[in-house]
Amino acid sequence: MILGLRNAAIAIALAALSACSNTQTKAPPDEIRIAIPSDIRGTNPGVDRDAITDTILAHVVEGLVAYDEHFHVAPMLADSYAVSPDGLTYTFHLRKGVRFQNGAPVTSREVKWSWNRLLNPATRFLCRDWYDGSHGIRIAAIETPDPDTAVFRLARPNYLLLEQMANFQCLGAILHPDSVDAAGHWSRPIGTGPYEIAQWKRGQYVLLKRFDGYVPRAEPQSGYAGGKRPETKYIRWIVIPDAAAARAALYSGQIDIATGLQPSDIEELSTAENIRIAQTQSLEWFALLINTGDEMMKDRRMREAIAHAIDYSALAKGATFGRSQYNPSVVSTISPYYSPGQRAGYSFDPGLSRKLLWEAGYRGQQITLEANKRYPGMFDNAIIIQSMLRRVGLNVHLEILEWATQLSNVPERRFQLMSFGFSGRPFPVFAFQSVLGALHQNPWMQWENPRALQLLDRASDTRDPALRGWMFDDAHRLMIADVPMINLYGANVIDAVSKRVEGYHVWSAGKPRLWGIRLKPSSGASAP
């Protein structure tokens, strides 16, 4: 039955590909095709957002700054920037000669308009709380002393505004005001990126067309920074929900890039003559969530028993075919702030685990571990963890849920244990903020610790990287002691690419970047 459904999904996907390419079996020579597992949510940057939407719109819009390949802040629409010694004033000098996709020049007026719009609650910018004081940064005013200069003034000192603006989770897109209609309703993104939206056929594809008026930066391409050169005229993002169907389309030459592959796919794809594997370590990480409000799990001895029952090295190697290793921290191992202190975690000690279970009064009561099959890593982790916990006497029942149901259970606190994953946060403060906070203010939080929150506030207020690193280490030690959740290992970015594509590189952010890549010459027709 499963095989039949998969074959049906492949057939449907290939039929859709044929239809959108005007019955051609191969992609035309001026179009790169990439598979995406789901459609975009919309075209309004930062408002209609998820990982896929963010990734596609990053080809259309840009911010004042961006992260480079190594997650350092670099200028983008800003030519330069300066932070006042007191951490209250950020001054951006705009790059000259940049134009919007409607031909209008970029000035400080559009910068102010864009940011005032994002900060307006009516816009429903999903990352507004990053800038309204909820997490330390509060933009008090934006000034435009001249057309080439924008000044951001903060309500209190903070040295992380640049890092937050560069965060690819929520692009601080600079848009032309014509992106909205006369009534202020969203129309379409008129940005400054190397591509613009040519067509969006819901549920099928998003077609981007090269913006011929784009002027790349002079620096080499790096992450979301540097010179973005749109080498290919069209980019078509094709919705193929089934991973097997995406691989079939890649084999047949109907798509050029398949992203988000699993370690188990590598051996099969590596044998294909016209396909290469591009992979690197990801910022994303897997974790075991623990509901500390649960009657059984509120006892720290229970949580410690679970922590010492897991063989982390075996788990990481087994789930990733040897491509990952145990990381007990929310800070990625590729972060410049990853230190020996971040490596301190839980030992695999079944004897200690059994002792703690007995002391906590555990006598075989059922414990439910939730997972889903949409994300294979979460499912595989759950299977392995269930087996390990059972070996120390824990009666663990595995419950497989739809992803939407599992996701809703997190803020509603309707779980005991949950196999989960977190998208990448390039800066440690943001990684901690994804799990640390007051539950009554944000039910998505997994850990509430006033001392740790103070450390994050201090890390935001200091310019000294060494002092910040000490604070991150201290926060990690507190997390290990509290056992509010158990971090497991970092994921991998694995993409499969047609050998007719030149210049494609994966990035630890897990964001496909389709500027700077080209196709080897071949025959075919142009895209519509």
Same domain, 396 and 303: yes
Looking at 128, 146, 177, which one is the last position of a domain?
177
List the domain range (segments joined by +) for residue 405: 281-491
DSSP-assigned letter for residue 15 = H
Same domain, 104 and 170: yes
Distance of alpha carbon 267 from its chain centroid, rounded? 26
Could you identify the residue written with the tokens 């990035």? Answer: 507
- To which H or E segment does residue 493 belong? strand 485-498
Same domain, 326 and 432: yes
**Which tokens is 299 given?**
């006892």
DSSP per-residue letters across 70-113? TS-EEESSEEEEEE-TTS-EEEEEEPTT-B-TTSPBP-HHHHHH
Tell me the mean pLDDT in the region 162-185: 93
525 found inside a domain: no
Same domain, 470 and 331: yes
As a whole number of angstroms, the distance between CA 234 and CA 315 comes to: 42
Same domain, 142 and 198: no
Tell me, what's the pLDDT at 12?
45
SS3 content of the chain, % helix, strand, coil (to 5): 30, 25, 45
276 found inside a domain: no
pLDDT interval class at 262 (50, 70, 90): confident
Residue 10 scores a pLDDT above 50: no
As a whole number of angstroms, the distance between CA 389 and CA 408 comes to: 25
230 found inside a domain: yes
**Region of poorest pLDDT, from 134-143, 227-236, 347-356:** 134-143
DSSP per-residue letters across 144-165? EEETTEEEEEESS--S-HHHHH
> Is residue 138 classed exposed, middle or buried when 0-12, 13-18 and 19+ CB atoms within 10 A define those classes?
middle
This prediction has a pTM of 0.85
Chain-wide mean pLDDT for the chain? 91
Are the C-beta atoms of 93 and 113 separated by less than 8 Å?
no
Tell me, what's the pLDDT at 260?
86
**Which tokens is 276 given?**
């290469």
As a whole number of angstroms, the distance between CA 348 and CA 190 comes to: 54
Are the C-beta atoms of 28 and 519 separated by less than 8 Å?
no
Same domain, 41 and 75: no
**Domain CATH for 328:** 3.10.105.10
Same domain, 74 and 101: yes
- To which H or E segment does residue 11 belong? helix 2-20
**Domain CATH for 24:** 3.40.190.10
As a whole number of angstroms, the distance between CA 231 and CA 380 comes to: 39
- pLDDT tens, position by position, 15-56: 545 544 433 456 667 999 999 988 999 999 999 988 899 999
**Region of poorest pLDDT, from 90-94, 111-115, 192-196, 336-340:** 336-340
Strand partners, 275: 498
Are the C-beta atoms of 392 and 305 separated by less than 8 Å?
yes
Tell me the mean pLDDT in the region 492-506: 94
As a whole number of angstroms, the distance between CA 99 and CA 191 comes to: 9
30 found inside a domain: yes
Tell me the mean pLDDT in the region 438-455: 92
- pLDDT tens, position by position, 222-238: 999 999 999 999 999 99
Tell me the mean pLDDT in the region 437-460: 91
Same domain, 307 and 402: yes
**Domain CATH for 101:** 3.90.76.10
Calculate helix-pair angle for 312-320, 376-391, nearest 10 degrees: 150
Looking at 147, 177, 207, which one is the last position of a domain?
177
- pLDDT tens, position by position, 66-108: 999 999 999 999 999 999 999 999 999 999 999 999 999 999 9
- pLDDT tens, position by position, 517-526: 999 876 444 4
290 found inside a domain: yes
200 found inside a domain: yes
Which amino acid makes up residue 25? T
Residue 271 scores a pLDDT above 90: no
Could you identify the residue written with the tokens 């294979």? Answer: 376
Same domain, 99 and 145: yes
Domain count, the chain: 3
CA quadruple 512, 518, 519, 523: dihedral sign: positive
Tell me, what's the pLDDT at 26?
61
Tell me the mean pLDDT in the region 302-320: 97
**Which tokens is 372 given?**
């889903």
119 found inside a domain: yes
- To which H or E segment does residue 236 belong? strand 234-239
108 found inside a domain: yes
408 or 20: which leads in pLDDT:
408
| Residue 231: partners with Cβ closer than 8 Å, 6 or more residues away | 503, 515, 516, 517, 518
Same domain, 484 and 505: no
Tell me, what's the pLDDT at 481?
98
Same domain, 74 and 205: no
Residue 153 scores a pLDDT above 50: yes
Which amino acid makes up residue 305? A
As a whole number of angstroms, the distance between CA 263 and CA 269 comes to: 10
Same domain, 328 and 447: yes
Looking at 177, 202, 218, which one is the last position of a domain?
177
Residue 401 scores a pLDDT above 50: yes
